[in-house]
Chains A and B, each alone.
Chain A
């Protein structure tokens, strides 16, 4: 007869407020096979865990069921406690009577009855549990970092400094991300290039970092410790080994009027270009869409129309016939650090649930720019060499109006969250502007100044003290009126409608994940929320991990985040990976499938449905070596434990440990016994 211990947790009063925990413990006590049943205020606490350990010893329990929160929360905690008391951890399971019972029902009687059913189901299941040993698999001690912004750079450096190899993949021609576009950074106003460029060079020169710029992740196979990732190195049409970054080709290129992405459309660049002077790698890329030669080839012209850059290059590094290359890398862990992009107020939106700002002119009013464009205006390496000038006519604006919360905190436009950093960078922008234009007046339309970091609120107060006029309220409409932009707003503090003539308007637009994040997340089989931000494993306890073992997350791709937090998060992800790589082998949950050789008929349906190729063929021979039959066999190292094979096997010869048919049937029976 089984001797199972049932431990019902009050979770303070989170459970006991709606579920009569004593009644549950009492009901379970009477269930056949339950040797010990009690309830306690905090099962996950130290005394709670020692309760379990004491019961295992005294009552000689061969199974433990803890009725408390979700297994996602504390399954590991209680299994470790059971293991320390000598019980095989996989004989310990949790019944979720908090998230899926006490918190979602208020009728005490129904909640208690449901809780009893839930615990009975797990008890019946545990009766059929087998002791299992974790599976040890080798770990490839190499990491893949996707995204070369400040988060990706920091993660790569930390992992590489920790002695492991890193493959850093960056979609753009150069690493640096949005930080490289900034002029100064809050709250200390130090120049962003000065603190970023050394890190970028460090990445480029680091012996253990393999930088694949102008590349994207194509596909991924395998699992924690044993990923195989295919990376598409987009054709640069410049041979990296030959080019020394002299830049002559970019000077001679006839196509000079292409809007520069790096300058957020304010500056221009050539067809063969390096995004910005401190680019790493400092190797140009040919923009196929705008290069005369490629446009000619696309039209099927026999003779090449241009070729100036090839002729100019003294090292023969230009190669118009270069193709995309697919590179495969074996890695043990992955960091997603793809960063953010800014919301735009235009009529056409990249996502179906987003709407633009018709009341602000859908982005067609000249001199209405966003934060990054203002950064480029303020940046010494920007199109105006640091002078604040209007994009339309180059005049120095005397009144600049900054609008906070554009897109953010605006459910009508499809984004409910606050983008966290705009209050800070708008205060920064007002200071940059007032430093450069002494007789200029900065006006900010805000709702709440959110500056919760270290030295942050002092920073915004300084901006206000230095003359920025902060008006509390949203703007209802903006329109062009001759030379100026009419801004119709309201100041709820003074209770007046305010109409301003602005020479320039800067919109603090919302932070969104990069376009295409959904397809990358699906490639890595990582879940994401309705905005496309990657879902962390647990918002408080496991913020840098995802639910997919071996895939970590850092920076603004997980939620709006400023530079200090992104760097901290990157280092956290790196430390998680270094601890993963610290032991030679990785122990993995033993929830894998096993084949019953006696009943397997070798139909191999399981092989057909197994996505991971974990099914191998094994010949069964008699003592004389004659082949009796060929049966399926599971490679424990590769099997991920999804169980699809078991549901497909016609002869029920393959069983997934921990989720066998017997266990599921017994759980069903428990409800109606």
Chain B
């Protein structure tokens, strides 16, 4: 009864060019990201991601510190100066801090520091602040993967490098 349907392929959505990638950035660019994490929550969460074998991007190098309260903004600047393309700062959820208030100091400190870095011209997407608890292995893998994607889109952090080399 129904008219023969014309032979027509199912519409394949053709692969979209990734608009975010800056022209001229080598396709194989693998960003180097430093993560400053607190020992009690995020580091243990990352260990949990390990024991649960949750795969994630290998671009992040993690430095363990007792508390996000200990993370000095100078560390972030040093990381960028030495060639990092992105930085992650992560610690306990508010009220969960092993030292009770360390993460509150960090939250206030990095709120101001983020504006400073923006003012200096560092793209905000290069910086990731997150709360990851000891039982959030999955969430840590998402923080790592998201940060890697975002920084990969922005390409290498050449701006600062040229300043330093001049």
Contacts and interface: CB of A to CB of B under 8 A. Distances in A.
Do the two chains touch directly in the complex (Cβ atoms below 8 Å apart)? yes
Interface of A: 70-72, 96, 98-101, 103-107, 110-111, 113-114, 117-118, 121, 522, 525, 527-530, 535, 547-548, 591, 609, 611-612, 640-644, 646-648, 656, 659, 661, 664-665, 667-669, 671-672
B63 A525 contact: no
Given A525-B99, A527-B133, A548-B98, A72 B66 contact: no
A664 B63 contact: yes
A646 B96 contact: no
What are the 8 tightest A-B residue pairs by CB atom distance, in nearest-first order? A99-B50, A643-B70, A644-B69, A642-B99, A110-B58, A672-B83, A99-B47, A103-B50
Interface residues of B, number: 51
A668 B33 CA distance: 11
A672 B34 CA distance: 11
Interface in B53-85: 53-56, 58, 61-67, 69-75, 78-79, 82-84
B101 interface: yes
Contacts of A612: 99
A529 B61 CA distance: 26
Contact of A547 (B40, B61, B83, B105): B40
B70 A671 contact: no
Interface of B: 30, 32, 34, 40-41, 43-44, 46-47, 49-51, 53-56, 58, 61-67, 69-75, 78-79, 82-84, 92, 95-102, 105, 109, 133-135, 141
B31 to A, nearest CB: 12
Contacts of B82: 668-669, 671-672
A39 to B, nearest CB: 20
Contacts of A105: 55-56, 58
Given A643-B67, A659-B65, 5 more contacts: A105-B56, A110-B30, A527-B92, A671-B32, A671-B84
A336 B75 CA distance: 38
A411 to B, nearest CB: 15
Centre residue among A70, A121, A661 by max chain B CB count within 10 A: A70
A668 B55 contact: no
Contacts of B69: 609, 642-644, 647
Nearest to A548: B98
A250 to B, nearest CB: 41
9 contacts: A104-B53, A104-B58, A114-B61, A642-B102, A644-B70, A644-B102, A646-B70, A664-B72, A668-B84
Nearest to A518: B95
Contacts of A121: 61, 63
Given A525-B97, A547-B98, A72 B32 contact: no
A619 B87 CA distance: 41
Contact of B44 (A547, A591, A640): A547
Contact of A671 (B41, B61, B71): B61
Contact of A100 (B50, B71, B98, B109): B50
Contact of B84 (A111, A646, A648, A672): A672
A641 B65 CA distance: 10
A497 B71 CA distance: 62
B62 A530 contact: no
A297 to B, nearest CB: 36
B102 A535 contact: no
Contacts of B53: 103-104
A647 B71 contact: yes
A531 B82 CA distance: 42
Interface centre among B70, B74, B98 (most CB of A within 10 A): B70
A580 to B, nearest CB: 19
A646 B58 contact: no
Contacts of A671: 32, 34, 61, 82-84
B66 A527 contact: no
Contact of B58 (A71, A111, A648, A672): A111
B45 to A, nearest CB: 10
Contact of B70 (A111, A525, A647): A647
Contacts of A114: 58, 61
Nearest to B75: A664
Contact of A104 (B44, B49, B66, B70): B49
A641 B62 CA distance: 20
Contact of B63 (A71, A106, A110, A667): A667
Contact of B65 (A548, A643, A669, A672): A643
Given A70-B50, A661-B72, A529 B66 contact: no
A117 B60 CA distance: 10
B47 A70 contact: yes
Nearest to B40: A547
A421 B38 CA distance: 37
A159 B149 CA distance: 54
Contacts of B71: 647
A104 B55 contact: yes
A95 to B, nearest CB: 10
B121 to A, nearest CB: 21
A527 B131 CA distance: 14
Nearest to B80: A668
Nearest to B48: A99
A36 B30 CA distance: 31
Nearest to A537: B44
B30, B46, B61, B75 — which one has the most chain A CB atoms within 10 A of its CB? B61
Given A647-B72, A656-B66, A668-B82, A525 B100 contact: yes
Contacts of B96: 522, 525, 527
Contacts of A522: 95-96
A667 B58 CA distance: 18
